[in-house]
Chains A and B, each alone.
Chain A
Amino acid sequence: MAHAVSTSAGAHGGHDAGQGGGHHGDHHDQESLKMFGFWLFLITDVILFGTLFATFVVLRFNTAAGPTPAELIELQGIIISTFILLTSSFTSGIAVLEMNKGNKRGLILWLAITALLGASFVYLEVTEFMHLVHEGAAIGTSAYWSAFFTLVGTHGLHVSLGLVWMIALMLQLSRRGITPVTKRKVNIISLYWHFLDVVWIFVFTIVYLMGVM
């Protein structure tokens, strides 16, 4: 393993199979590559949301004589869903702690709680959207509402995809337990989940708080 230690390169992700704990080392390297790749993906996702925020800010006064956000947005429901999402970020953190302790049952339990909180967040968002449409603010009403539904909806879509992914991961965990591969997957989804939380803070501030001001 002498020279393997000095490098991080190799066959696809794994340097020198065979020597010492080679096979295990392969997996380790490959998992860390994927982790790094996911960080880079998150950068691109930041740009994606950044662009959506920019269009929202450009169009924020363009309500074209239609309903304005101050008239329609009810902050109370939004505060509740904000707390739900923040709590789910916390519970996903606990799930990772359980995983590091090697407690498979605890890990799945806390992931399930996270997913439930995420699902209630999505449910609240869908009800909010239905309410807004009912009040006469749909995506085609004005530029403001186009930007609103696109930005908030893209975040909601991210959360929903995360839910499907989390459920798939719980199935894999129950089948395979905590391995280097499933461990990396849990780490990645928890990273993703925290990221969505951070994005939501900005949505909450820029779209909702500044919208009703």
Chain B
Amino acid sequence: MLDKIKEFASEFFVTGDPLILGAQVSIGLSLVAIIFVLTFFKKWRWLWTEWLTSVDHKKIGIMYIIASILMLFRGGVDALLMRVQLAAPELEFLHAEHYNQIFTTHGVIMILFMAMPLMFGLFNIVVPLQIGARDVAFPFLNSLSFWMFFFGAMLFNVSFIIGGSPDAGWLAYPPLSELSGSPGLGQDFYIWGIQISGIGSLATGINFVVTILKMRAPGMKLMQMPMFVWSVLSSCVTIMFAFPILTVTLFLLFLDRYLGAHFFTLDGGGNPMMYINLIWMWGHPEVYIVILPAFGIFSEIVSTFSKKKLFGYKSMVFALMSISFFSFFTWAHHFFTMGSGANVNAFFALTTMLIAIPTGVKVFNWLFTMYRGRIKFTTPMMWTVAFIPCFVVGGMTGVLLSVAPADFQFHNSYFLIAHFHQVLIGGVVFGYFAGLYYWWPKMFGFRLHEGLGKWAFWFWNIGFYVCFMPQYALGLMGMTRRVNTYDFDMGWQPLNVISTVGAFLMGAAFIFQVWQIAHSIKFYKKEKDGDAWDGRTLEWSIPSPAPLYNFARLPQVTSQDDWWEEKQRIAAGEPAKPLAPLEPIHMPKNSGIPFIMSVCWFTAGFGFVWDWLWMAIPGLIGVAVCMLARSFSYDTDYYIPVDEIERTEAALRGTK
């Protein structure tokens, strides 16, 4: 009996690596610590009623952001491990198999479990406030989306200590990712983790399209929406069209592995190249899904801190929407070397060059917005200004890669690695950091320490260039991606050492950010009014943090940058807009179903990974029961009475 348990445990847990053992111990200890703290301070009920069952978009947004920062930490540690391994030739810090796992999880986590949730967090917090709504269109579905993401991410991450990590690259190309190439469980964790969180992302896409199209404050026309809202709309429309492809692709790979189907196998008539086409039909739009909202964030910030209306509003809208359209016609540039023929390659090379044009338009719009503006260099603005040259260089190396004949040289080299890190860090990460700093006072009601933020900013930026500029050169010198070691005589060592130093500078920058947050909490100073930056859009017209119902009265919008115009009118001595009488506010009730249903999905996924049908089937039944329970519940909302609104408003604004 004991032997059996031992045998099971050695199969169940990942064993034999001191790094992983250390991680297992520290994860175990932190779990114990969390449980102890929650029990000691009697916080379980608080956790359940205030957070786990909440359908409030602001709380869901905060949970997304916390989860994504944890994932940024994990993905960052992966990156540092890789950089240590590559710092010198023929190092044996990570053995080849472990290295494969780490670059796989680094990619998946950074894109799907860091960038996506950070983006959804900002969507959740900002969009309803900017359009003057009291929640998203489907608050229950919103909560479900979050928990599906969360448990999908947990399922993926747990593979690190249980069962073994995936190691077939972040997009898991077959035949390597087939059962023949990856017989371990890691690939199954990959499929189920991404599948579960992907369904959540799809639902978020639908939710925000409906919210933006149908729930804008009275009077707000489409062409008066803040630019961030436009960018969210373009991103969510792209999600709607791209994510079903991912769902199908992963499902087909699952069928290949689980039922022995022959979609992507080498035998039985399967076609591995079809997987590569399918995954990039999702994958290429996916990178635009994450970058478009960053463009929106920069537009808000650049206009706020230049004290000017955004230059070229209409061209910006047109650029966003055309990028989301063209993003579906460039996917084959990821594999010009596949051999699809000259005509196909020419088509995709041209579309790739074409999509650079609207992006270029935007850069000029930001520059002209700053031109003759009264620029204030706060941290959000610094990130924005740093983003522009970084993204321009990243974009131009992208155009170099789009030249199909030349791509045969660059393909899968460190040149490519440097390119996409430059657009993803310089664009997406810088953008979301800017957004996080910009809306932080709105989320929490206090500001982040500017000085520490500037330290973090400089470390990130210098670290970025030190890390990735050498990689362009390394790529041209012939270093290919995913190599875990290299020979002395390649001459790659000096540049690799520099690159590793840069990576650690960025690691230090992250520590500065954590310190910044901790410091700002310790020296907590409450925001006096809700308008932290002398803002232009509706979210700055209400207290920080926003009350449960956001707007006591729905704003009546008459122009773009409505809150700014209102402030100008009041400053000019014109009367403020008359206040309508308060009315009871219709709100959704909290629900535990999204959390429980996501636990059931996790159970089902875990069961399928291990091929334990006794676990997978009850999990799926649980999902069905949750859906029916929701369908049969009719008592899902309530009204906040007027006197309660009056009390809340008086307390928040300190008047009346």
Binds B, one of A113-121, A122-130, A137-145: A137-145
Indicate if the CB atoms of A55 and B639 lie closer than 8 Å: no
Using Cβ atoms and an 8 Å threshold, which residues of chain A touch B135?
11-12
Using Cβ atoms and an 8 Å threshold, which residues of chain B touch A165?
631
- By Cβ-Cβ distance, the 7 closest A-B pairs, closest first, are A62-B269, A143-B269, A140-B260, A146-B261, A7-B218, A64-B269, A11-B134
Binds B, one of A37-45, A76-84, A103-111, A190-198: A37-45
Q: What are 18 A-B contacts defined by CB distance under 8 Å?
A: A3-B218, A7-B219, A9-B131, A10-B554, A12-B134, A17-B583, A18-B584, A33-B215, A37-B137, A40-B209, A40-B210, A41-B206, A59-B270, A142-B262, A143-B271, A146-B268, A176-B634, A185-B631
Interface residue? B278 (CB, 8 A) = yes
In B124-181, the 8 Å CB interface with A consists of 131-139
Query: Which single member of B137, B249, B259 contacts A33 (CB below 8 Å)?
Result: B137
**B240 → A minimal CB distance (Å):** 5
Interface residue? B644 (CB, 8 A) = no
What sequence of 0s and 1s flags, for each residue 133-160 of chain A, a beta carbon within 8 Å of any chain B beta carbon?
Answer: 0000001111110110110000000000
Using Cβ atoms and an 8 Å threshold, which residues of chain B touch A171?
632
Given known contacts A172-B631, A172-B632, is B554 in contact with A9 (CB within 8 Å)?
yes
Indicate if the CB atoms of A62 and B270 lie closer than 8 Å: yes
Interface residue? B624 (CB, 8 A) = yes
The CB with the most chain B CB atoms within 10 A, among A3, A140, A168, is that of A140
Interface residue? A36 (CB, 8 A) = yes
**Alpha-carbon distance A13/B554, docked complex (angstroms):** 13
**Alpha-carbon distance A15/B219, docked complex (angstroms):** 13
Indicate if the CB atoms of B218 and A140 lie closer than 8 Å: no
**B145 → A minimal CB distance (Å):** 13
Using Cβ atoms and an 8 Å threshold, which residues of chain A touch B216?
9
Interface residue? A73 (CB, 8 A) = no
**Beta-carbon nearest neighbor of A64 in chain B:** B269
**Alpha-carbon distance A204/B137, docked complex (angstroms):** 37
**Alpha-carbon distance A91/B132, docked complex (angstroms):** 43
In B174-196, the 8 Å CB interface with A consists of none
Interface residue? A8 (CB, 8 A) = yes
Interface residue? B247 (CB, 8 A) = yes
In A3-42, the 8 Å CB interface with B consists of 3, 6-19, 22, 26, 33-34, 36-37, 40-41
Indicate if the CB atoms of A150 and B261 lie closer than 8 Å: yes
Using Cβ atoms and an 8 Å threshold, which residues of chain A touch B389?
none
Interface residue? A47 (CB, 8 A) = yes
**Alpha-carbon distance A172/B209, docked complex (angstroms):** 29
Query: Which single member of B209, B268, B556, B587 contacts A140 (CB below 8 Å)?
Result: B268
Interface residue? B420 (CB, 8 A) = no
Indicate if the CB atoms of B263 and A146 lie closer than 8 Å: yes
Indicate if the CB atoms of A44 and B202 lie closer than 8 Å: yes
**Beta-carbon nearest neighbor of B583 in chain A:** A18
**Beta-carbon nearest neighbor of B274 in chain A:** A58
Interface residue? A70 (CB, 8 A) = no
Indicate if the CB atoms of A64 and B586 lie closer than 8 Å: no
Interface residue? B77 (CB, 8 A) = no
Indicate if the CB atoms of A55 and B549 lie closer than 8 Å: no
Indicate if the CB atoms of A12 and B268 lie closer than 8 Å: no
Indicate if the CB atoms of B252 and A55 lie closer than 8 Å: yes
Interface residue? B267 (CB, 8 A) = yes
Interface residue? B248 (CB, 8 A) = yes
Indicate if the CB atoms of A16 and B554 lie closer than 8 Å: yes
Given known contacts A33-B210, A164-B624, is B634 in contact with A13 (CB within 8 Å)?
no
Given known contacts A12-B139, A62-B271, is B263 in contact with A143 (CB within 8 Å)?
yes
The CB with the most chain A CB atoms within 10 A, among B213, B215, B255, B587, is that of B215
**A208 → B minimal CB distance (Å):** 20
**Chain A interface secondary structure, helix, strand, loop or mixed?**
helix
Using Cβ atoms and an 8 Å threshold, which residues of chain A touch B215?
8-10, 13, 33
Interface residue? B241 (CB, 8 A) = yes
Query: Which single member of A33, A64, A185 contacts B214 (CB below 8 Å)?
Result: A33
Query: Which single member of B134, B262, B554 contacts A143 (CB below 8 Å)?
Result: B262
Using Cβ atoms and an 8 Å threshold, which residues of chain A touch B451?
none
**Alpha-carbon distance A40/B233, docked complex (angstroms):** 13
Indicate if the CB atoms of A63 and B624 lie closer than 8 Å: no
**A189 → B minimal CB distance (Å):** 11
In B604-643, the 8 Å CB interface with A consists of 624, 628, 631-632, 634, 637, 639
Given contact pairs A8-B215, A146-B268, a sample of 14 additional A-B residue pairs in the complex whose CB atoms are under 8 Å apart: A7-B219, A9-B133, A34-B138, A43-B241, A64-B269, A139-B260, A140-B260, A140-B261, A143-B268, A143-B270, A146-B262, A150-B252, A164-B624, A172-B632
In B389-416, the 8 Å CB interface with A consists of none
In B544-561, the 8 Å CB interface with A consists of 549, 554, 556
Indicate if the CB atoms of B631 and A37 lie closer than 8 Å: no
**Alpha-carbon distance A38/B468, docked complex (angstroms):** 45
Interface residue? A174 (CB, 8 A) = no
**Alpha-carbon distance A152/B476, docked complex (angstroms):** 48
Interface residue? B514 (CB, 8 A) = no
**Alpha-carbon distance A140/B274, docked complex (angstroms):** 18
Interface residue? B337 (CB, 8 A) = no
Query: Which single member of B259, B269, B624 contacts A142 (CB below 8 Å)?
Result: B269
Indicate if the CB atoms of B588 and A48 lie closer than 8 Å: no
Using Cβ atoms and an 8 Å threshold, which residues of chain A touch B206?
37, 40-41, 44
**Alpha-carbon distance A7/B584, docked complex (angstroms):** 18
Interface residue? B245 (CB, 8 A) = yes
Query: Which single member of B202, B269, B270, B639 contacts A17 (CB below 8 Å)?
Result: B639
**Alpha-carbon distance A26/B637, docked complex (angstroms):** 11
Using Cβ atoms and an 8 Å threshold, which residues of chain A touch B288?
none
Using Cβ atoms and an 8 Å threshold, which residues of chain A touch B137?
12-13, 33, 37
**Alpha-carbon distance A18/B583, docked complex (angstroms):** 6
Interface residue? B585 (CB, 8 A) = yes
**B621 → A minimal CB distance (Å):** 12
Query: Which single member of A12, A55, A64, A150 contacts B587 (CB below 8 Å)?
Result: A12
Using Cβ atoms and an 8 Å threshold, which residues of chain B touch A19?
583
Using Cβ atoms and an 8 Å threshold, which residues of chain B touch A12?
133-137, 139, 586-588, 637
Indicate if the CB atoms of B584 and A52 lie closer than 8 Å: no
**Alpha-carbon distance A48/B251, docked complex (angstroms):** 11
What sequence of 0s and 1s flags, for each residue 227-246 of chain B, a beta carbon within 8 Å of any chain A beta carbon?
Answer: 00000000000001101110
In A154-213, the 8 Å CB interface with B consists of 164-165, 168-169, 171-172, 176, 181, 185
Using Cβ atoms and an 8 Å threshold, which residues of chain A touch B585?
11, 17
Using Cβ atoms and an 8 Å threshold, which residues of chain A touch B139?
12
Using Cβ atoms and an 8 Å threshold, which residues of chain B touch A44?
202, 205-206, 240-241, 243-244
Interface residue? A51 (CB, 8 A) = yes
Using Cβ atoms and an 8 Å threshold, which residues of chain B touch A140?
259-262, 268
**A58 → B minimal CB distance (Å):** 6
**Alpha-carbon distance A37/B204, docked complex (angstroms):** 11
Given known contacts A9-B133, A12-B135, is B245 in contact with A51 (CB within 8 Å)?
yes
Using Cβ atoms and an 8 Å threshold, which residues of chain A touch B251?
150
Using Cβ atoms and an 8 Å threshold, which residues of chain B touch A143?
262-263, 265, 268-271
What sequence of 0s and 1s flags, for each residue 53-74 of chain A, a beta carbon within 8 Å of any chain B beta carbon?
Answer: 0010011001110000000000
Interface residue? B207 (CB, 8 A) = yes
Query: Which single member of A16, A43, A144 contacts B240 (CB below 8 Å)?
Result: A43
Given known contacts A17-B584, A33-B214, A37-B138, is B274 in contact with A10 (CB within 8 Å)?
no
**A88 → B minimal CB distance (Å):** 21
Query: Which single member of B210, B248, B554 contacts A51 (CB below 8 Å)?
Result: B248
**A169 → B minimal CB distance (Å):** 8
Indicate if the CB atoms of A181 and B634 lie closer than 8 Å: yes
**A180 → B minimal CB distance (Å):** 11
Indicate if the CB atoms of A10 and B133 lie closer than 8 Å: yes
